[in-house]
Structure 1
Amino acid sequence: MPATRATAPPGETAAQPGSGTVATALLAACHPLPAAAVTLFTAVLAAATGRGTAGCAASAGAVALGQLSVGWSNDRADMRRDRLTGRPDKPLAAGAVAPGTVSAAAVVALALCVPLSLASGWLAGAVHLCAVAAAWAYNLWLKRTLASWLPYALAFGLLPAFVTLGLPGQPWPPLWLGAAAALLGAGAHFANVLPDIADDLATGVTGLPQRLGARGSAAMAALLVLGSAAALVLGPPGPVTPYGWGLLALTAAVLLATGRGRGRAPFLGTLAVAAADVTLLLARGAGTA
């Protein structure tokens, strides 16, 4: 973690930045890597289930807007804590963008997310908006509770349903797919929190990972991500393919290699496993629906 304090004191912002600087700061504040990963996962799943070009664009666009709103609201909610712990890598904490600008961006993204979600049908749209609401609940409250893992599991677990409910006949996804997504989301939560546990505890954030500590959270993240891969490989009917066995072996190897790492290594390892999962889903094609 950066040892230096942010340059702007709480409640103030740095000198007025130019429009290009504001755009760059907003991009950094939206948590671009996980936002892009979740959006890509949605697009691939939509393509695999036969949503078509328009369906893929609508579902991926809705998820992208939802992720933007969640990322911006997360940094806005964490602004005071990020300043107290010295996070110049956070645009709000460093004064690179005004709090009102980030708040407005989050609200606008959320407002645009509603009609685009409903473009996939009222049931699919309602499911996705429930997932977004769970993520906002994490940002505003649940991250400080023992249920901090629940919004991640719920939001990720509902994502396949958002995609398949947009198909003709509004089919629900198979149970194994929802379980794999929920386990992956919960595992990502434990892995993502690892670098910030000490700062979180110092500022009163006592979610489940913080209470388990770094070692316990790393172990929980590994078990959940491995469980996600197992559900994806062993859940579908029929024999396990060579790629499936390879995915399980790859997951175990990646978790072993990154589980003892520092900083963002465990989270990046989780993203690598997710990319392998996406490849398997794409190979299965319409069989996921």
Structure 2
Amino acid sequence: MSKRKRPGFALSLLRASHPGESLVIAVGVTLGAVLIGRPLREVALVFATVLLGRLTAGWLNDAADRRRDAAAGRLDKPVAQGWVDGGTVTFTVACATCVLVPLSISNGTVAGVAHLLSVLAAWAYCTRIKTTRLSFLPWAISFALLPAFLSYGGWGGGVHGGPPTVLMTVLAGLLGVGVHVILALQDLVGDNRIGLRTFPLMIALKIGAGKLLVLSGVWTVAVLGGIVAAGLGPGLTQ
């Protein structure tokens, strides 16, 4: 199979970060900060922190999957296509992490730790677990930690806010599962061809990809509705 025309280095590196996915997640968390009345400077800090964290996860995902993506014939993957070297991507993650750690703690010590743990869970997805029936687990954990990032958030180090409600934490984790399934839909054929057995693929093999698309869409919308309802009730914090 022939390779597509090679784009420039900067564009290839950007594509490898899953920019669309990263931006949507960052915007979603930022909207949460807006809805709970955080000041503008804290809202901007939340956006920058979450976006950088998700970009590192995207880069690691493409670097870890370069052989599988190549075997599956993914023409939209810069690392698999050789547009950018995997070592360069991991070095970029290392440099970004040097910024991510202090940036996260700038949201408050507890909030920063919660965010860093969320990013670590997203990184864990890039290991062998993503090829198994437990592929949903890192997504659930990563998203479940985001309410704590918001509820404990503030400006500068130290302790701010309080713990999130259990309901909001559970709903956030369920949202992570839905997002994982939706994002995995485009990879189902390739994953099946190379013998993977991920959580979304196992469901698709039982009910069909079309039904899975509908089910994951309904699931995600329902969970988002629950998050909005919970936020309008007792709010994010206990």
Q: Same fold (TM over 0.5)?
A: yes
Whether the 8 Å contact between 1:29 and 1:92 is mirrored in structure 2 is yes
Q: Distance in 1 between matches of 2:79 and 2:232?
A: 48
Deviation at 1:143, TM superposition (A): 0.7
Deviation at 1:235, TM superposition (A): 3.5
State the partner residue of 1:147.
134
Q: Distance in 1 between matches of 2:86 and 2:13?
A: 11
Q: Cα 1:77–1:121, aligned 2, differ >3 Å: closer, same or farther?
A: same
Q: Distance in 1 between matches of 2:36 and 2:231?
A: 15
Whether the 8 Å contact between 1:6 and 1:87 is mirrored in structure 2 is no
1:114-263 → structure 2 map (5 Å cutoff): 114-167=101-154, 169-213=160-204, 214-215=209-210, 217-218=212-213, 220-235=215-230
Secondary structure of the equivalent of 1:235?
A: helix
Q: Distance in 1 between matches of 2:25 and 2:59?
A: 15
Q: Cα 1:47–1:233, aligned 2, differ >3 Å: closer, same or farther?
A: closer
Whether the 8 Å contact between 1:119 and 1:125 is mirrored in structure 2 is yes
Whether the 8 Å contact between 2:147 and 2:236 is mirrored in structure 1 is no
Q: Distance in 2 between matches of 1:115 and 1:183?
A: 29
What stretches of structure 2 of length at least 5 have no aligned partner? Answer: none
State the partner residue of 2:56.
69
Deviation at 1:158, TM superposition (A): 1.4
State the partner residue of 2:83.
96
Deviation at 1:65, TM superposition (A): 1.3
Q: Distance in 1 between matches of 2:153 and 2:229?
A: 26
Secondary structure of the equivalent of 1:82?
A: helix
Secondary structure of the equivalent of 1:139?
A: coil
What stretches of structure 1 of length at least 5 have no aligned partner? Answer: 9-13, 239-285
Deviation at 1:63, TM superposition (A): 1.0
State the partner residue of 2:29.
42
Secondary structure of the equivalent of 1:189?
A: helix
Q: Distance in 2 between matches of 1:144 and 1:94?
A: 21
State the partner residue of 1:241.
none
Q: Distance in 1 between matches of 2:223 and 2:138?
A: 16
Q: Distance in 1 between matches of 2:54 and 2:227?
A: 24
Would you say how many aligned residue pairs link Structure 1 and Structure 2?
229
Whether the 8 Å contact between 1:47 and 1:56 is mirrored in structure 2 is yes
After superposition, the C-alpha distances for 1:88-115 in whole angstroms (9 at most, x for unaligned) are: 2111122211222111112222232111
Deviation at 1:135, TM superposition (A): 0.7
TM-score by structure 2 length? 0.85
Q: Distance in 1 between matches of 2:130 and 2:220?
A: 20
State the partner residue of 1:32.
19
**Structure possessing the higher radius of gyration over alpha carbons:** 1
